[in-house]
Structure 1
Amino acid sequence: MTEFLSPVSKAVLAHKEVLPEGSLGKHIFCHTTSGMPEVKAHGFAIVAVSENRNDINFMGEEVELDAYRKAFYSLYPGNWKRPIFDLGTITKGDSVSDTYFAVQTVLRELLENEVIPIVLGGSQDIGYAQYRAYDTLGKMVNVVNVDSLFDVGDAEKPINNKSYVGKIIVDKPYNLFNYSVLGYQSYLNPPAEIALMEKLFFDPYRLGEITADITYSETIFRDADLAFFDVAAIKRSEYSYKHNSPNGLDGREICALSRYAGISNRISSFGIYELKPFEAVPNGPDMVAQILWYFMEGVAFRVADEDFENEQAYTIYKVPIDDQVLTFKKSKKTGRWWIELPFISNVDNKLKRHTLLPCTYGEYLSATEGEIPERWLKARRKNEV
C-alpha cells in the first residue's frame, strides 16, 4: 500500500504544528517522510487522490488538495474515540487506469483491515475505483451517490466523470445490488438515463424530495455500503464554482446527509469528489472540511441495532395487505424501523443479507392504510431478477 502513497506535504505539516492545542490536526497521525503511521482497525484513513484527467472539462489543471487538509485540521473534534490517519496522496499514474489500480489496492487493504477510507478526490470517476475495492470482499454492495446527476452515461465509451456509474453497472465482476441518487435535478439528466434508473429498479430521489424531508435519507444510507458525495450537488451560491447549478443542496443539508452516512452501521467507505483548485472555489476547503467533520461525527454515534436474530431486541408488527402480510421490525434500542423482504431461495447467496430493508415509521403507517412502500416493491423485483 505504501508504494502508492506520497507523504503529506511539508506545508500541511507546518500548518499542523502551529495549530492550537485541541484542534483536529493535533490528533491526526500523518504519513511523513519518516514513515507511515501504524493504521489501526476501526479508525479513519484519509486518502487524497490528485487525479482529474477523465473530467469532461479537464483543461490541464492540477488538483491541489492541501487547502482541504488545512481546513479540516483547523477544526475541533467532537467526542470521538476513533483515531484519524492521513495517509497522504495518491498522485497521478502514467495512465488514469494506473491511478484507479492504486486507489483500488489501497482502499481494499484498508477495508480488509476494518479501517474506514475517506477519499478526497479530483474527478468523480475515481468513485469507480472506490467501488472496485469491494471486488474481493465477496458480497453485493449498495452505493449511494449525493449528486445532481446520475453519472450513468454511455458505458460503451471510455470512462469519464459523468459515465463511471455505467461502467460500474456493466463491468465484471457484478457486485452492485442497488444504486441510489440523492438530490438529482431532472432538467440536468437525459430522459433516457431517468428511464434506465427506473428500469433497473434503482432509487433516484429528486432534490425537492430530499429537501422536503431530509430525514428520509437516513434509511437510504442505512442500507448502503459506500457513499459518493459530488460537491457539484451543492448550489452555486453556497459552493462558488461555475459548474455548479444555481439550485442544489445548501451547506446544512449536505452536512446533514454526511452525518446520516456516518450513522449508517454499514457504510465502510466515503468519498468526496470534484474537488477543484483552491483558487477556483474560495470557500470550498471550509465546506469540505465540515462535510468530513459531520461524517466522522455520525460514525461516533453509531449504535449496533441490527441483531435480527435476537427477537427480544425488536417489536414485530404484521400488516396484511391484499393476499400478503408485510412484516415490520422496530428496534427497541434506537426506534429505527425495517421491513422484511420474503427470501427467494433461488437467488445468489450474496443477496441473503438484503432480506431486511430499512424504512420509516411513516411507511409503516402507510402500510396500515393499504399502501405498499415503493422501495419494498423495487427491492423485491430486484431479488426476483
Structure 2
Amino acid sequence: MADLNFLAPVPDVVLAYNELLSQQAIGKKIKIHSKQDGIPDLEGVDVAIIGVLENRNDINYIGEDFNLNEIRNAFYKLYPGNWCTSMADLGDIYKGETVEDTYYALKETVSELVKLNIIPIVLGGSQDLTYPMYRAFDSLIPMVNIVNVDSNFDLGDLTQPIKNDSFVGKIILEEPYNLFNYATIGYQTYFNSQEQIDLMETLYFEAYRLGQVSSDITLVEPVMRDANIVTIDLGSVKASEVSLNQKVSPNGLDGKEICAITRYAGISNKVNALGVFEYKPSQDDEITCVLIAQMIWYFIEGLNCRVEDTDFKDEHVYQKFITLVDSQELNFYKSIKTGRWWIEIPFLNEINNKLKRHTLLPCMHQDYLDACNNQIPQRWYKAYQKNCV
C-alpha cells in the first residue's frame, strides 16, 4: 500500500462538520482518512474519493489555491440510497514541487486502487489530470477508452506543452499508444475550431453535440458502457446551474442531465475511474458543491445497479439478430437479462488487430433498427475503421 503515501488526510474542519451530521448520513457511513487514524482499512471498499489540489496547468492559472472542503461537506450530509457499496474518502494529493510530481502521485495512486478493485473518484482542479489517470492504466489493460463530458474536445495544439485544453493531444501522441477510443459528450460547436472537428473525424473518435444529448440522454449509455475512464469538465454545465466562478456558457448540460450521465457511468461494468474537474471555488460556490456531491451520489447509485450481462458463451442469456447492410453482414446481440444491445466488430485477420477484447461494441436498439433500414451504425463504422488503421 506504499503508493497511497501520497495522500494527505481529510482536513480536520471537515471531520468536525461531519460530527454534527445525522447518523444516517453518508458521512457517518464512509471510511475516512484522518490525521488521527491514518488511511482506513480498504478491505471490501468499492469506491474511493481522492482530491487533487493541482491547477497549475490551467490556461487561466494566476497562482490561486483551492480546497475541496465544501464538496466533502455537501456529499457527507446526503443520505445513501439502498446501497451495498462500501465507500472511502482517502483525502488529498497536494501540489508537488512540479506539476509532473503531482501527475506521478496521481498515476501511482489510481493504479494502486484499480489493482485493489477500488474505483477512484478523482476531484480536482484542471482537467489535464485526466492524463495521469490514463497513464495509470498502462500496465493494467492493453487499450483504454476515455469518455470526456465537455463543451470542448481539448485536443489543443499537439506541439505545445500539456494544458487543461490540450491534454488529449499528449494522450494521442505519447508512447505507449494505449488509447483506443476517445468520445466527447455534450460538445458545443462554436467552442471548437473546424480543424479540431475534422481531426476528431479523421481519428474516428466519437463526438456528441449538446443538442443531441439533451434531446435523447440515452445516447450516452452505450458510450459509457464501453468506457474505462470517464472525465467531466464542470464547464460543460450551463451557467444557471453553477456558482459565479464556474460560469462558462449560458448553454450546457443541466443538473438532471449531468447526474443522469454520471449514473450511466456508474452502471457501466467497464468504468474503472471517474474524474470531476475544473472546480473553481468562489464565495458563492455552495450550489456547485451540492451539484458535484449529487453527481458523485448518482455515480455510486449507478454502481449499485451494475449487472453482468456479457456472457455471450451461454446462448440462453442473449438473442442474436443478423442483418445485411450494403452486402455487409452485421451481427447484433441483445441481453435477455437487461435488454441492452451490442454489435459485433469482425476480426481482420491480415492486420495487427487492436480489438482483441473489443469484438462486441455496445450499441442501442435504434442502431439495429437503422441497420434493418440499410443504414450502417456510426459507432460500428468508426470502430471498424480504427481496426483497419
TM-score, normalization by structure 1: 0.98
- Measure the CA separation in 2 of the matches of 1:55 and 1:351: 34
For structure 2, which runs of at least 5 residues remain unmatched after alignment?
none
Cα distance between partner residues in 2 of 1:347 and 1:84: 44
Q: Give the aligned partner of residue 23 of structure 1.
A: 25
Structure 1 unmatched runs, 5+:
none
Q: CA deviation at 1:324?
A: 2.0
1:139 and 2:142 aligned? yes
Q: How far is the alpha carbon of 1:8 from its aligned partner?
A: 0.5
Secondary structure of the residue aligned to 2:79 is coil
Alignment of 1:1-385 (within 5 A): 1-33=3-35, 34-41=37-44, 43-242=46-245, 243-279=247-283, 281-348=285-352, 351-385=355-389
Q: Report sequence identity in percent.
A: 51
Shift of residue 3, structure 1, vs aligned partner? 2.1
CA contact (8 A) 1:141 1:225 kept: yes
Deviation of 1:277 after TM superposition, in Å, equals: 1.9
Q: Secondary structure at the match of 2:283?
A: helix
The structural deviation recorded for 1:231 is: 0.7
How has the CA–CA distance of structure 1 residues 86 and 319 changed in structure 2, closer, same or farther, with 3 Å as cutoff? same
Residue type at the aligned position of 1:266: K
Give the Å deviation of 1:63.
1.7
The C-alpha deviation readout for 1:290-340, integer Å capped at 9, x for no partner, is 000000000100010011221211100111223221110000000000011
Opposite residue 143 of structure 1, the aligned amino acid is: I
Task: Report the Cα distance in structure 2 between the residues aligned to 1:191 and 1:40, rounded to whole angstroms.
Answer: 49
User: CA 1:374–1:2 in structure 2 vs 1: closer, same or farther (change >3 Å)?
Assistant: closer
CA distance in 1, matches of 2:292, 2:49: 13
Query: In structure 1, how many angstroms separate the alpha carbons of the residues matched to 2:352 and 2:95?
Result: 37
Contact 2:347 2:353 in 1 (8 A): no
The Cα shift of 1:82 comes to: 1.5
Q: Distance in 2 between matches of 1:183 and 1:241?
A: 21
Distance 1:278 1:262 in 2: 29
The residue identity in structure 2 corresponding to 1:263 is I
Q: CA shift at 1:205, angstroms?
A: 0.6
Runs of 4+ in 1 over 4 A off after TM superposition: 346-350
Deviation at 1:346, TM superposition (A): 4.4
Which whole-Å CA distance do the structure 1 matches of 2:346 and 2:330 have between them?
9
* 1:382 Cα offset (Å): 0.3
Q: Which amino acid is the alignment partner of residue 276 of structure 1?
A: K
How far apart in 2 are the matches of 1:355 and 1:241? 45
Superposition deviation, residue 42 in structure 1: 5.5
Distance in 2 of aligned mates of 1:231 and 1:357? 28
Does the CA contact (< 8 Å) of 1:341 and 1:355 recur in 2?
A: yes
Alpha-carbon separation, structure 2, partners of 1:53 and 1:70: 25
- What whole-Å deviation, never above 9, does each CA across 1:95-120 have from its counterpart, x for those lacking one? 00000000000000001111100000
What is the CA distance between 1:11 and its match in structure 2? 0.6
Q: Which amino acid aligns with 2:308?
A: A
- Counterpart Cα distance in 1 of 2:358 and 2:45: 24
Deviation at 1:281, TM superposition (A): 3.0
Separation in structure 2 between the aligned mates of residue 2 and residue 230 of structure 1, nearest angstrom:
25
Give the conservation status (yes or no) of the 8 Å contact 1:141–1:178: yes
TM-score normalised to structure 2 length: 0.97
What's the CA shift for 1:348? 4.6
Q: Which amino acid aligns with 2:384?
A: R
Contact kept in structure 1, 2:182 and 2:206, CA below 8 Å: yes
What CA distance in whole angstroms lies between the structure 2 residues aligned with 1:52 and 1:283? 21
**Alpha-carbon offset, residue 350 of structure 1:** 5.2
Per-residue CA distance 1:182-219 (angstroms, 9 max, x = gap): 00000011111111000000001100010010011101
* Separation (CA, whole Å) in 1 of partners of 2:142 and 2:244: 37
Q: Distance in 1 between matches of 2:281 and 2:192?
A: 26
CA distance in 1, matches of 2:333, 2:91: 43
Give the aligned CA root-mean-square deviation in angstroms: 1.2
Stretch moving more, 352-361 or 278-287: 278-287
